[in-house]
Amino acid sequence: MEKLTSVHFIDMAYRGWHETEFIGDIVKKISAKLCETFPIVHDGLVGISSRLEELYVKIDIGEDDVRIVGICEMGGIGKTTLARVAYTHMSPHFEGKSFLADVREVSNKYGLVSLQKQLLSQILSEEHFNFFNVHEGNALINHRLSNKKVLVVLDDVDNLQHLKCLVGRRDWFGLGSRIIVTTRDEHLLRSYRVDDVYKPTTLNANDALQLFNLKAFNSETRLENDFSELSKHVLKYAGGLPLALEVLGSFLCGRDATQWRSAIERLERDSNKEIIERLQISFDGLDQTEQNIFLDIACFFNGEEKDFVMKVLDGYCGQKETFIMC
């Protein structure tokens, strides 16, 4: 019988270490795949499955890095809804989680310290945190979370300070952590050097019709004949924007054809107040020069070719590109 020497033990330990590492890698890859493919019921969330698949490719929870991914587009496109579904779906794969909703509004009302406390309290739920300025908060987040694999969502960010005080540097969080940031400002994400940006598009014609039917007729497929032509007018007005489809569909639900016609005539004169209020936030976030350019395009160049408009507005310090991207 062969005797076991120290060399054998070293060799066994070496192989065991590699097997453990190999198995751990397999577990991570399988977890990532499950996150991408495991079926989830999305009640009323039309068109979200394809968006989730595209977002998960950018998030890539199978890797051991710390990754920051932005979700960026106009208001009403469904950024928050997408981030919340992804958060609910992925959270079992992390040691801790935090969803900070309405960061812009909460920060303006209560300050960044309140958001830092909320972040820590959601991840370390059994502890109480008592500090009074963002610098203490920064140090505490770094100290307490640098060894934890966490999932964090910052919803509706509009200021670089939000990212500096809530995310800071990547080494504030443990390996494998993922941070998702929703915002209307792509420049803010690029300035912060996020790892990737996902830009959801408006719904395609089939999904837009399905969502509208769901809200207007409480059915994903049925479209009543009397309302077929009227619905086409509403769908054209909404342009595939989920917010517009939901608001208008819910408003028209249960009303007769005469009321539909009246509502459509009003829409042609005056836009829906709820939709305008949501989109107004993006306009208000522009500086005066950018607002002037936006109004010039909206009033004088609506429907014109992009290249033509860019030539006409060439004297606006190069800022016209901000508004002619879509």
Q: What is the pLDDT of residues 31-87, one digit of tens each?
A: 555 555 444 545 668 889 999 999 999 999 988 999 999 999 988 899 999 999 999
With contact defined as beta carbons under 8 Å apart, do 244 and 238 qualify? Answer: yes
Q: Of 174, 170, 172, which is closest to residue 94 (Cα–Cα)?
A: 174
Q: For the chain, how far is it from start to end, CA to CA, in angstroms?
A: 76
Cβ(198)–Cβ(72) under 8 Å?
yes
Summary mean pLDDT of the chain: 82
In which band, very low, low, confident or very high, does the pLDDT at 324 lie, cut at 50, 70 and 90? very low
Q: Which has the closest alpha carbon to 149: 101, 97, 85, 195?
A: 97
E strands, the chain, in order: 67-72, 96-100, 150-154, 178-183, 196-198
Band the pLDDT of 323: cuts 50, 70, 90.
Answer: very low
Written as six digits, the tokens of 315 are 């004297």
Helix (H, G, I), strand (E, B) or coil at 69: strand
Residues 241, 212: contact at Cβ < 8 Å?
no
Q: What type of residue is 142?
A: N
Task: Return the SS3 of 252.
Answer: helix
**Which residue reads 């801790």 in tokens?**
96
Q: Quick one: CA dihedral 51, 54, 60, 65, positive or negative? A: negative
- List alpha helices for 60-204, DSSP H: 79-90, 103-110, 112-123, 134-145, 160-166, 186-191
Q: Please list, in sequence order, all residues whose beta carbon lies within 8 angstroms of the beta carbon of residue 276, skipping any fewer than 6 positions away.
A: none
Q: Does residue 6 carry a pLDDT above 60?
A: no
**C-beta separation of 52 from 59 below 8 A:** no
Mean pLDDT (whole number) for 162-169: 96
For residue 92 the two structure tokens come to 């079992």
Q: What is the pLDDT of residues 217-258, one digit of tens each?
A: 887 655 556 788 888 888 988 889 998 899 889 888 988 888
Torsion region of 156: left, alpha or beta (phi above 0 gives left; psi -120 to 50 gives alpha): left
Cα separation, 82 vs 218, whole angstroms: 22
- Cβ within 8 Å of residue 4, ≥6 positions away: none
